[in-house]
Amino acid sequence: MTGTGQRRNHRSGRHPMHLAVRIIAAVGVLAAVTVVRPSTADAQGPIVTGGGSSFVSLLVSQWRADVAKPPYNLKINYTSAGSGFGRDKFISGALDFGQSDIQFLPEEINRLNGTNRKGFVYVPVAAGAVAFMFNVNGTNGRRITDLKLTPEAACKIFTVPNIKWNDPSIASTNPGVGLPDRKIRPVVRSDRSGTSYVMSEFCIQRAPAVWNAFKSFIGSGNYGQDQYLAAGQPISQWPNNYGSVSQAFASDGIANVVGNASTGADTITYIETGYTKVKGLPAASVQNAAGVFTPPLPANSTIALGFAQPRPNGTFELSYGGRDPRAYFPSTYSYVIAQTAGFDPAKGKSLAEYLYYSVCKGQERAEPLLYSRLSSVLVDLALTAASQIPGAPPRPATCAAPPPPKLEIAAPGAGGGAGGVGGGAGPGAVGAGGGGAAAAGGPAAEVAGATAVAGESGAVVDGAAVGAGAVNAEEAALAEELAAGAAGATGSASGTAIGASGSAGPENSDVLFTFLMGAALVAVGVFAARGGRAAVSRR
């Protein structure tokens, strides 16, 4: 071919290299666009809307992505805005289903009974630990990754104004860690949160003197508290504007505050364990009633939830005093709230199919995201509840699930205050170790857990009771500490409020992988295109 012919071929865009580059770039763009905006042509049936708990947001994001594909082709929208939001919007009818880590509160039941949604079921779909994720550098300037907290210390961090990292209650269980002489910056939820409720319930049961002092302190001022605090009940709305505490909206919000590279120094929050993986931050090991410090890993929260007691309505009364040396507290369940009458059967079919997937095949997604798998007993309970939704197809005949945990009850006095598992968390992981090793004295008994809900609940063995005089003396000392902290308070930092989102979470492995592949192909295409054009111009 003559030089003139070659130039004409280049100008016409028929050069083989040029065509290949266009194909590669087009494939890359198509892959990326397909992931970002899935085709609605593949989905069938109505859109089902849900919302509420952000504790389950990472897992729900994965499930939604899974069921959007064949053979399910379900369209499930979800707004992560707190358990209180889920219950409120279910009552009002704004959502097809609610998601909450706790049951309806008494005044909510009164409102619900005046609507056509008074017939409903709780469907347990998720379980896991509430981790204390933190971001602090030690006196050597390096990030601290191994932190051990007693229940009293954990509760003081979120209740005592301007408490410091080297407070004796923290330093005593962390010898040699190099805790700084700086204020801790606790980050609490600004929304009505199920994890706030669980956190407060944990403090009421395991650190009563700390909580009672906090109740008295908050009751003396206007700190945005709800009415349950004064009544001595767990709270969904955490107080604010005291000491160095700040607020943020939902799990994404508090995770972003603590995980911020430039402004997250000295922060700590209570959050589902999966965010330690997302943000690459450590979580504290917490001392259980057997005297062992355990990290918030799935196996340990599974053991802890074995001490929960079933209620007649399908939810569980959590207990935080189980003496199994492997248990991690605080841990919790989360429930879908769904109608059993007056609901669109077409939507009911889709919702039930989504729930069947969530508690069966979807449980395989739980542990990689640092949630606990539901046991066979919980799965059976969930399938029975979901099958009552109008339009629900027959429940699956079989569904693989692990058996309920066997609880190992340590003898009273076994273990020790600072002994136990050395499971400090490193960056990007919750921690090595796990709670398998019993403290000195070993387990005194093994409980098969065959009570009430066929083994999900075992015998509850509380920690040693504290004498009333000791509690009162401790409360008096804490009251002085709270007052001193309040006097030196500099005001509340305004936490970053992150809006509700229904997008797939960062642990959506299939979506993320496909997106990255698409982005890579785009990059290859662009690079090749530039290289091709340069080669053509040189020729």
Give me 262's structure tokens. 């430039």
Residue 310 vs residue 538, higher pLDDT: 310
Q: Which residue has the tokens 């809900």?
A: 453
Burial 185-209 (b: 16+ CB within 10 A, else e): bbbbbbbbbbbbbbbbbbbbbbbbb
State residue 474's pLDDT score.
Answer: 58
Give me 155's structure tokens. 């509760």
Question: Rounded to an integer, what distance in angstroms lies between the CA atom of residue 156 and that of residue 170?
Answer: 10
Give me 49's structure tokens. 């809307």
Question: Rounded to an integer, what distance in angstroms lies between the CA atom of residue 397 and that of residue 413?
Answer: 46
Instruction: Quote the mean pLDDT of the chain.
Output: 78
Least confident of 229-238, 387-396, 450-459: 450-459
Residue 497 vs residue 117, higher pLDDT: 117
Judge residue 537's burial from the number of C-beta atoms within 10 Å of its C-beta, 0-12 exposed, 13-18 middle, 19 or more buried.
exposed
Q: List the domain boundaries for the chain.
A: 3-37+510-538, 47-125+333-399
State residue 225's pLDDT score.
Answer: 79
Question: Rounded to an integer, what distance in angstroms lies between the CA atom of residue 332 and that of residue 330?
Answer: 7
Q: How far is C-alpha 270 from the chain's CA centre?
A: 9
Do 91 and 117 form a contact (C-beta atoms < 8 A)? yes
pLDDT in tens, 259-318: 999 999 999 999 999 999 999 999 999 999 999 999 999 999 999 999 999 999 999 999
pLDDT band, residue 224 (cuts 50/70/90): confident
Q: How far is C-alpha 169 from the chain's CA centre?
A: 26
Least confident of 14-18, 258-262, 459-463: 459-463
State residue 530's pLDDT score.
Answer: 38
Mean pLDDT of 238-258: 97
Q: For residue 215, which phi and psi values (nearest 5 degrees)?
A: -60, -45
State residue 527's pLDDT score.
Answer: 36
What is the domain class of 47-125+333-399 according to CATH?
alpha beta
State residue 3's pLDDT score.
Answer: 43
Amino acid code (one letter) for 83: S
Minimal CA–CA distance to 336: which of 1, 69, 86, 32?
Answer: 86
Q: Report percent pLDDT > 90 for the chain.
A: 66
pLDDT in tens, 403-419: 999 999 988 765 543 33
**Which run of H or of E encompasses 27?**
helix 16-36
Position 110 pLDDT exceeds 60: yes
State residue 131's pLDDT score.
Answer: 98
Q: Report percent pLDDT > 70 for the chain.
A: 68
Pairing of strands 185-189, 246-248: parallel
CA distance to 86, 87, 118, 123, 530, per residue, from 82 (Å): 7, 9, 21, 17, 48
Instruction: Output the CA torsion sign for 114, 353, 127, 501.
Output: negative
Name the DSSP class of 467. Answer: P
Question: Rounded to an integer, what distance in angstroms lies between the CA atom of residue 488 and that of residue 180?
Answer: 19
Do 44 and 73 form a contact (C-beta atoms < 8 A)? yes
Burial 354-383 (b: 16+ CB within 10 A, else e): bbbbbbbbbbebbeebbbbbbbbbbbbbbb
State residue 420's pLDDT score.
Answer: 32
Judge residue 513's burial from the number of C-beta atoms within 10 Å of its C-beta, 0-12 exposed, 13-18 middle, 19 or more buried.
exposed
**Which run of H or of E encompasses 148?**
strand 148-149
Cα atoms found within 13 Å of the Cα of residue 41, Cβ hemisphere only: 2
State residue 39's pLDDT score.
Answer: 36
Amino acid code (one letter) for 144: I
Pairing of strands 267-272, 185-189: parallel
Position 372 pLDDT exceeds 50: yes
pLDDT in tens, 158-207: 999 999 999 999 999 999 999 999 999 999 999 999 999 999 999 999 99
State residue 141's pLDDT score.
Answer: 96
State residue 35's pLDDT score.
Answer: 33
Q: Which residue has the tokens 């939902």?
A: 250
pTM of the model: 0.75
Minimal CA–CA distance to 67: which of 50, 53, 87, 84?
Answer: 50
Mean pLDDT of 518-538: 37
Position 92 pLDDT exceeds 70: yes
Question: Rounded to an integer, what distance in angstroms lies between the CA atom of residue 195 and that of residue 214?
Answer: 18
Least confident of 115-129, 348-362, 493-507: 493-507
Mean pLDDT of 499-518: 36
Q: At what angle do helices 194-206 and 208-219 cross, to 10 degrees?
A: 120
Position 394 pLDDT exceeds 90: yes
| Range among 123-127, 225-229, 421-425, 485-489 with highest mean pLDDT value | 123-127
